[in-house]
Structure 1
Amino acid sequence: MQKWLWGYVLAVVAVGSIIVVQNVFELGKGDWAAWVQAIGSIGAIVGAFQVGRRQIESGRRHALEMDRLERTRKNQAVVAVVHHAVSQAKAAEEGFRNMPTDVLRTVLDRGIYALVEATDALFSIPLHQVGPSAAVVQFAQLQVTMKRMSTTFQRFGKLDRDGALIEHIHCSQELSGAVGIAENAANQFTQIVNRLD
């Protein structure tokens, strides 16, 4: 039944009860005052209970919403780190693919690419904070791939000119394959995390 109908039924029952009590027990004005006070006290107790229950429920809903917002904020931060890492990987791979060896070595000496730093940022995020197991798997795959790319990047930077000329194409191919794996892991991770919100 609808609330207004319940209210109507309750009012009819209350009026009927008053009429029956008045006719059966022949209550005086003092008796009625005592009954009204007793019923009012009971009503106040029930009302206080309802107010307390609503406040508790409101507080619980607020706490759940704050937890959800905090989780969303953390997820967005992790996704931002993931996308930054992939963008650095793509930039480094593009540099390896398009730059002549001598130019690439000069660029690497100047620290233009932040691949190693982006990889370090990925490893600074504890795995237990990245979400469910499927997200952890993709995040770990991205960490491993970025670490492998960083190692290739650093190894190439330590080579002399002749060694760099020999290894340039090999490192470029290695980075190209790793970028594809990193992009796939990042996309899968982002999809999983976005489904949580």
Structure 2
Amino acid sequence: MGIFSIVYSAFTVIWMAVVLIHTFFNLSPSDWASWVQAVGSIAAVIGAIEVGRRQRVGDRETAIVAASLNAERLQSVVKAVIDDAYQQCLDVRHVFEVAEKENKFAYIELVTSYDTDSFQKSIDRVQAIPLFELHSEEIAKNVVSFQANILRLSTWLATTYRIVIGPTLPSDKDLDLEQVTGIACKYLDLVKSDYLAIVKATQGIELTEGRPFGRWTS
């Protein structure tokens, strides 16, 4: 109910009361002045209550809109952070695909397509995403999965790099290249699945192509 309707209803009731009082009671001018003052006070209280109510409703609506806009902006930033990490996954995937189809020596291209520091910086940015501020359970769930899988992927990429390029660690001696790259490809697929879910939830544009070797950026 709007303030006009409330005030109109209040004055209607008061006017009816005044008519009844005038009909049945013989009031002096001072009595009438008291009644008028009382009526004015009641009307002022009613008006203040309604103004306060409408202000609170307006503040809540403003807060909801502001939260929604902030969430949308944050989701755009999250998509950019995820894109940066996933682009580097695409770069590495290209090496694995070439090596699998053409020549195992293609893994040597990891020297130019895989940079440990750059990849780690991307992972750190992904891990720093403020999940509770996303205002989307679906996006948060997929980001958590992306965080976990890209972290595991980094371990197996580093292992692949050591086996191909060196230096190896004592723990690498029982591992063969095919075994390690198979596990790395598994996590590449999981990261891709998480990424596509994030793209869908944020209505963003999907990255599909790896970059030429040696063009990694941090």
Whole-angstrom CA distance in 2 between matches of 1:153 and 1:25: 96
Q: Give me the TM-score of the superposition, normalised by structure 1.
A: 0.67
Unaligned runs of 5+ residues in structure 2 are 100-104, 168-175, 204-218
Partner of 1:66: 66
Whole-angstrom CA distance in 2 between matches of 1:175 and 1:62: 47
1:143 aligns with 2:147: yes
Q: Following TM superposition, by how much is the alpha carbon of 1:22 offset from its aligned partner in structure 2, in angstroms?
A: 1.6
Partner of 2:76: 76
Query: Please, which moves more after superposition, 170-179 or 24-33?
Result: 170-179
Q: Does the CA-based 8 Å contact 2:153-2:184 persist in structure 1?
A: yes
Partner of 1:20: 20
1:125 counterpart SS class:
coil
Whole-angstrom CA distance in 2 between matches of 1:191 and 1:126: 19
Distance 1:158 1:128, change over 3 A: same
Q: Which amino acid aligns with 2:160?
A: F
Q: Give me the TM-score of the superposition, normalised by structure 2.
A: 0.62
Q: Does the CA-based 8 Å contact 1:142-1:186 persist in structure 2?
A: yes
Q: Following TM superposition, by how much is the alpha carbon of 1:24 offset from its aligned partner in structure 2, in angstroms?
A: 1.5
Over residues 2-61 of structure 1, what are the superposed CA-to-partner deviations in whole Å (9 max), with x where a residue is unaligned? 999988776665544333322211234433222112101111122122222222332233
Distance 1:193 1:19, change over 3 A: same
1:87 counterpart SS class:
helix
Whole-angstrom CA distance in 1 between matches of 2:3 and 2:141: 51
Whole-angstrom CA distance in 2 between matches of 1:141 and 1:128: 15
1:186 aligns with 2:186: no
- The root-mean-square deviation of aligned C-alpha atoms, in Å, is 4.2
Whole-angstrom CA distance in 2 between matches of 1:25 and 1:181: 87
What is the identity percentage for the equivalent residue pairs of Structure 1 and Structure 2?
Answer: 22
Query: Please, which moves more after superposition, 185-194 or 69-78?
Result: 185-194
Q: Following TM superposition, by how much is the alpha carbon of 1:104 offset from its aligned partner in structure 2, in angstroms?
A: 0.7
Whole-angstrom CA distance in 2 between matches of 1:45 and 1:37: 12
The answer to which structure has the higher helix fraction is 1
Partner of 1:124: 128
Query: Which structure carries more relative contact order (alpha carbon 8 Å, separation 6+)?
Result: 2
Whole-angstrom CA distance in 2 between matches of 1:9 and 1:94: 75
Whole-angstrom CA distance in 2 between matches of 1:183 and 1:170: 20
Q: Following TM superposition, by how much is the alpha carbon of 1:153 offset from its aligned partner in structure 2, in angstroms?
A: 2.6
Unaligned runs of 5+ residues in structure 1 are none
